[in-house]
């Protein structure tokens, strides 16, 4: 069996991964607070975990992995959005969840096995808070329930901080009812116009961190294998989760392995609204950047390094994917072909790809291994390469690869000019057949001027692509001397 090695934030080392139960490997990823479209940075942990889950399913079996990713649908940001727009919280969260699904689907990220919503686990949260109070780890004060960080000696270990150091450098105003400035809220009172639930401490709502502790325990148990998220969540979110979960379940270990991805930048700078380089996944998709391209760029940088999104990378990524898919189309790939190959027992990803992924999810290494493959052989010969692409999640639908590769006529897009371009190319094909190369080149030059990129294929065929500066008006000049 392939040994998977992962860098564990908890121990700051790369360690061999050993599941608690190989028949049920359990993972939890902190999902979004649903008040707005997912931005590009939100996609990174999703894709990292998507690859991780694919790897785990490959190694331990498809039915032996349980992947949970939550929706936090109770939060003051949501309340603020509702107040600002006059819409109900329910409308906003429902809409945002649907958007999230669309956008992550477009990136080829498989849906988790469970997508619990915080509002469906209020009972479990209240119960956990009661346990924490009973265990002496939390206290009630002025309608709030707070976690007592001094009651948990390990507090700060995950993020490598000490409570005293943090207090020394703290820049936050401290609520007067806190015993310690670092104590954090488990439950807080709600005004009449705020969402709230009845509790032993009056009508209120949960604090930010408790939902993940409650939902992971409910769906995965108090001890599970891998917990992840962006490095910015390491503190305070994950630190607080550890405190809550370990104190509520002193007998359990909570998450064995903590995985944190580094942040995303855009053209070398932090993505922020003030710099004007902030964009969502949807913005990119609407701009015509395919989800596979976004995925490719994301996976081109190791998850533990800052990743820089640039136009150049997106273009390079698109080029590679086009060439790869083009080669597979020529080798006869389709959904039914892949079925046949799978039944034929030749559907095995390349060892080099699996080994790279097993080595702390070295996705750039896996992609490099794909570059080493010589394409152009038969479908069977290409199977390990194709299976590797699938393992990396680049192929949501084998029947669609032709359209990505932009092969032939009518197989792509709906642009009304396609038929006209195709007709001209048929003329050119005829001109080439009779060796009238002057005319053939003329047609190609005209098409180029209109922004159409033409490629000849062996045997006198061709493919074309409408470039970004395609101008149908120029087509009207075609054929004139």
Partner RNA sequence: GGCGGGUUGGCGGAGAGGUUACGCAGCGGAUUGCAAAUCCGUGAAGACCGGUUCGAUUCCGGUACCCGCCUCCA
Binding residues for ATP: 273
Q: Give the residue with the Cβ less far from RNA, 155 or 208.
A: 208
Structural tokens at position 56 = 């785990």
Told to check if 95 binds RNA by CB under 7 A, we report no
Residue from 130, 180, 456, 471 that binds RNA (CB under 7 A)? Answer: 456
How many residues line the site for RNA (CB under 7 A)?
78
Q: Does 286 help bind RNA (rule: CB under 7 A)?
A: no
273 binds RNA, rule: CB under 7 A: no
Residues 46-85 touching RNA, rule: CB under 7 A, are 75-77
Shorter beta-carbon distance to RNA: residue 313 or 342: 313
Beta carbon nearer to RNA, 171 or 473:
171
Which two three-digit tokens encode residue 246? 């370990």
Stretch that binds RNA, among 134-142, 280-288, 335-343, 450-458 (CB under 7 A): 450-458
Nearer to RNA among residue 45 and residue 291 (C-beta): 45
Summarize the annotated binding site as residue ranges: 30, 212, 237, 241, 273
Nearer to RNA by C-beta: 39 or 54?
39
Residue number with CB closer to RNA (54 or 188): 188
Q: Which of 413, 437, 449, 477 binds RNA (CB under 7 A)?
A: 437
Crossing angle of the two packed helices 379-391 and 335-343, in degrees rounded to 10: 100
Give yes or no for residue 204 binding RNA (CB under 7 A): no
Q: Which is nearer to RNA, 196 or 342 (CB)?
A: 196
For residue 477, state whether it binds RNA (rule: CB under 7 A): no
In the 3-class helix/strand/coil scheme, how is the chain assigned residue by residue?
Answer: CCCCEEEECCCCEEEECCCCCCCCEEEEECCCECCCCCEHHHHHHHHHHHHHHHHHHHHHCHHHEEEEECEECCCHHHHHHHHHHCCCHHHHHHHHHHHHHHHHHHCCCCCCCECCEHHHHHHHHHHHHHHHHHCCCEEEECCEEEECHHHCCCCCCCCCCCHHHHHHCCCCCCCCCCCCCCCEEEEEECCCCCCCECCCCCCEEECCCHHHHHHHHHHHCCEEEEEEEEHHHHHHHHHHHHHHHHHHCCCCCEEEEEEEECCEEECCEECCCCCCCCCEHHHHHHCCCCHHHHHHHHHCCCCCCCEEECHHHHHHHHHHHHHHHHHHHHCCCCHHHHHHHHHCCCCCCCHHHHHHHHECCCHHHHHHHHHCCCCCCCHHHHHHHHHHHHHCCCCCCHHHHHHHHCCCCCCCCCCCCHHHHHHHHHHHHHHHHCCCHHHHHHHHHHHHHCCEEEEECCCCCEEEEECCCCCHHHHCCCCCC
Stretch of 33-41, 58-66, 283-291, 471-479 contacting RNA, by CB under 7 A: 33-41
Least distance (Å) from RNA to the CB of residue 5?
8
Among 19, 25, 26, 33, binds RNA (CB under 7 A): 33
Among positive and negative, which fits the CA dihedral 132, 138, 141, 143?
negative
Burial of 326-358, coded b for 16+ CB within 10 Å and e otherwise, reads bbbbbbebbeebbeebeeeebbebbebbbebbb
- What minimum distance in Å lies between the beta carbon of 90 and RNA? 19
Binding segment for RNA (CB under 7 A), chosen from 27-35, 122-130, 145-153, 387-395, is 27-35
Is the CB of 379 or the CB of 425 nearer to RNA?
Answer: 425
CB of 30 to RNA, least distance (A): 5
Among 119, 216, 261, 280, contact with RNA (rule: CB under 7 A)? 261
Using CB under 7 A as the binding rule, whether residue 306 contacts RNA is answered as yes
Report 351-390 residues binding RNA (CB under 7 A): 359-360, 362, 364-365, 367-368, 371-372, 374-376
Closest to RNA by CB, 18 or 323: 323
Residue in 448, 440, 453, 441 with CA at minimum distance from that of residue 475: 448
Q: Please, which of residues 315-334 interact with RNA by CB under 7 A?
A: 316, 319-320, 323, 326
Residue 159 tokens, joined: 């993020």
Binding status of residue 196 toward RNA by CB under 7 A: no
Size of the chain in residues: 481
Rg (CA), the chain: 27
The reply to whether 400 sits near RNA by the rule CB under 7 A is no
Q: Applying CB under 7 A, which of residues 81, 227, 237, 446 lies at the interface with RNA?
A: 237
Q: Which of 45, 204, 290, 349 binds RNA (CB under 7 A)?
A: 45
Cβ 21 to RNA shortest distance, Å: 26
Binding to RNA (CB under 7 A) within 134-173 occurs at 159-162, 165-166, 168-172
Instruction: Tell whether residue 232 is a contact of RNA (CB under 7 A).
Output: yes
Give binding residues for Zn(2+) as ranges: 30, 212, 237, 241
Q: Does 408 bind RNA (CB under 7 A)?
A: no
Counting contacts by CB under 7 A, is residue 474 touching RNA?
Answer: no
């Amino acid at each position: 069996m392939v040994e998977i090695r992962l860098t564990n934030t908890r121990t700051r080392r790369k360690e061999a991964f050993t599941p608690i139960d190989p028949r049920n490997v359990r993972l939890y990823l902190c999902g979004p607070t649903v008040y707005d479209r997912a931005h590009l940075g939100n996609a990174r942990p999703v894709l990292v975990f998507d690859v991780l889950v694919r790897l785990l399913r490959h190694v331990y079996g498809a039915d032996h992995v349980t992947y949970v990713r939550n929706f936090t649908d109770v939060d003051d940001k949501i309340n603020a959005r509702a107040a600002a727009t006059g819409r109900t919280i329910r409308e906003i969260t429902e809409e945002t969840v649907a958007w999230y699904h669309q956008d992550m689907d477009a990136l080829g990220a498989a849906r988790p096995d469970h997508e619990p919503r915080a509002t469906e686990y209020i009972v479990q949260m209240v119960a956990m808070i009661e346990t924490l109070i009973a265990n002496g780890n939390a206290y009630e004060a002025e309608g709030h329930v707070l976690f007592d960080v001094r009651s948990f000696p390990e507090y700060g270990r995950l993020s490598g901080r000490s409570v005293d150091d943090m207090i020394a450098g703290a820049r936050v105003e401290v609520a007067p009812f806190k015993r310690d400035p670092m104590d954090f809220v488990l439950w807080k009172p709600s005004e009449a116009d705020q969402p709230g639930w009845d509790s032993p401490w009056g009508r209120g709502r949960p604090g930010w961190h408790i939902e993940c502790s409650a939902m992971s325990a409910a769906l995965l148990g108090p001890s599970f294998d891998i917990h992840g998220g962006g490095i910015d969540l390491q503190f305070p979110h994950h630190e607080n989760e550890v405190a809550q979960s370990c104190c509520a379940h002193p007998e359990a270990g909570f998450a064995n392995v903590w995985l944190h991805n580094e942040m995303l930048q855009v053209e070398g700078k932090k993505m922020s609204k003030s710099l004007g380089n902030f964009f969502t996944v949807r913005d990119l998709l609407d701009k015509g950047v395919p989800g596979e391209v976004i995925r490719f760029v994301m996976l081109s940088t190791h998850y533990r390094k800052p990743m820089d999104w640039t136009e150049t990378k997106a273009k390079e990524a698109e080029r590679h994917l086009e060439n790869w898919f083009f080669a597979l189309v020529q080798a006869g790939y389709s959904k039914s072909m892949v079925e046949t190959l799978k039944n034929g027992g030749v559907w095995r990803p390349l060892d080099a790809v699996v080994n790279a992924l097993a080595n702390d999810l070295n996705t750039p290494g896996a992609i490099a291994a794909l570059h080493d493959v010589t394409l152009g052989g038969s479908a069977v010969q290409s199977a390990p390469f194709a299976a590797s692409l699938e393992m990396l999640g680049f192929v949501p639908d084998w029947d669609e690869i032709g359209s990505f590769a932009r092969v032939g006529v009518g197989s792509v897009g709906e642009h009304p000019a396609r038929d006209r371009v195709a007709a001209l190319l048929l003329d050119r094909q005829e001109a080439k057949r009779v060796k009238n190369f002057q005319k053939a080149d003329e047609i190609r030059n005209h098409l180029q001027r209109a922004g159409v990129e033409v490629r000849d294929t062996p045997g006198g065929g061709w493919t074309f692509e409408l470039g970004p500066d395609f101008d149908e008006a120029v087509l009207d000049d075609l054929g004139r001397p």
